[in-house]
Structure 1
Amino acid sequence: MNLHELGLRLLLLILSILILFFISNRRKSETLNPLFMIIGLCTFSLLYVFTKVEIGVGIGFGLFAIFSILRFRTKAFTINAVIFLFVCMTLSILDVFFPADKYFDLLLFHGGIIIAYFLGTFRNVKYLSSFELTLDTCDFPNLDESKMRKCIAERIPFEEFKYKIISVNAVANEVKVEVFY
């Protein structure tokens, strides 16, 4: 792979990742960190180096161990973030290993993945986030639906919400509910 070809593949990867990033962040309720885009570029660079240098099985196991440690030592990512990272890494792997004489096929793969990603982000979910809320059973001794809804509405700043009772503890006089907003 010469410098011109490397530059074209890197440019295609950067454009694809930018498009995916802006598709992912068009909703204000959940946004991705811009540094997630660097993971695709790092994967591209790492794989490019691996194509130029002979590596052994030990390095592969070492990389697997590093990524495993990172996964268990960092905060959990949302599903959207994991999908974005996986797509970025897939595009970077395609860019490095795809045959040089098949640029049109590579463009089709990029376009297909971006279109599928875009279509996959359309979802008809009304409540995107949730949290747990602990309430006193004294406020609603018979767990009446309207009283429960009113009690929750007084404690949260959202007008529209849905809730689900997780547990009722009669000894501690508390009800745990999960509130979706």
Structure 2
Amino acid sequence: MGNLDSGELIRDLALNLVSIFLLVYVIYFRRHRRWDQVVGYVAFNISLFTVSAALGSSGPLNVGVGFGLFAVLSVVRLRSDESGQIEIGFTMVALVLGLMSGLPGMEFGIKVLFASLLVVAMFLVDMSAIGRRYRYSRVKVELDRIIHDESNLNEHLRTTFGKTVKSVSVRSVDMVRDTMTLDVVFHTES
């Protein structure tokens, strides 16, 4: 059974809290303004920090613990059906920060380096001037008719919304009600 060093735990918790604050408030929230996502990121992060610190302090970790933590990370995909790729990316980084910060045994300097790498990478990718040229909006659309031809569907959406259609994914088709539900990505002028 391992010992839980309270000084190391407090130091690691401080690193985790600073990292998650920078990630979700300074980087994510100021640009995307989704408080519901911030709450989820912090909850996942702190929960995974707590679990990994508790498991790491209870003795040597085996393969089963690794599979269990992998299952926790798989929750991202289950939770992310309505989330975009940006939110999935931030969720994954929030989870990794909590996991990495919570596991004992790694040198603190390495933890700081990895946490910095993750936060700086997300800052650069999310705030990039390059990405601003490729703005888009993702909309869930339910049509009151089924349009089978892709070019007719794109033209109908372009005419209805007055925006260039970048992609369309059919989520469901209801032949009884003669409706279809779509995920549509529109190009947004910057």
TM-score, reference length from structure 2: 0.62
Tell me how far 1:46 sits from its aligned partner: 0.7
Task: Report the 3-state secondary structure (helix = DSSP H, G, I; strand = E; otherwise coil) of the residue aligned with 1:25.
Answer: helix
Which 10-residue stretch deviates more, 83-92 or 52-61? 52-61
C-alpha spacing 1:133/1:162, structure 2 compared with 1 (3 Å):
farther
Aligned letter for 2:135?
Answer: K
Fraction of identical pairs, as percent: 21
Matched with 1:6 is 9
**Alignment counterpart, residue 29 of structure 2, candidates 7, 25, 29:** 25
Task: State whether structure 2 residue 135 is matched by structure 1 residue 126.
Answer: yes
Larger helix proportion of the pair: 2
Aligned length: 161
Task: Report the 3-state secondary structure (helix = DSSP H, G, I; strand = E; otherwise coil) of the residue aligned with 1:161.
Answer: coil
Deviations 1:54-90 (A, max 9, x none): 566556656666765x567656132222222221222
Matched with 1:82 is 88
**Alignment counterpart, residue 101 of structure 2, candidates 95, 100, 103:** 95
Q: Is this contact kept in 2: 1:133–1:179, CA < 8 A?
A: no
**Which structure 1 segments of 5+ residues have no match?**
137-142, 154-159, 167-173
Matched with 1:112 is 117
C-alpha spacing 1:6/1:129, structure 2 compared with 1 (3 Å):
same
TM-score, reference length from structure 1: 0.64
Q: Is this contact kept in 2: 1:132–1:179, CA < 8 A?
A: no
Larger radius of gyration: 1
Cα distance in structure 2, aligned partners of 1:94 and 1:65 = 16
Which 10-residue stretch deviates more, 53-62 or 91-100? 53-62
Q: Is this contact kept in 2: 1:43–1:93, CA < 8 A?
A: yes
Task: Report the 3-state secondary structure (helix = DSSP H, G, I; strand = E; otherwise coil) of the residue aligned with 2:124.
Answer: helix
Aligned letter for 2:13?
Answer: L
Q: Is this contact kept in 2: 1:44–1:95, CA < 8 A?
A: yes
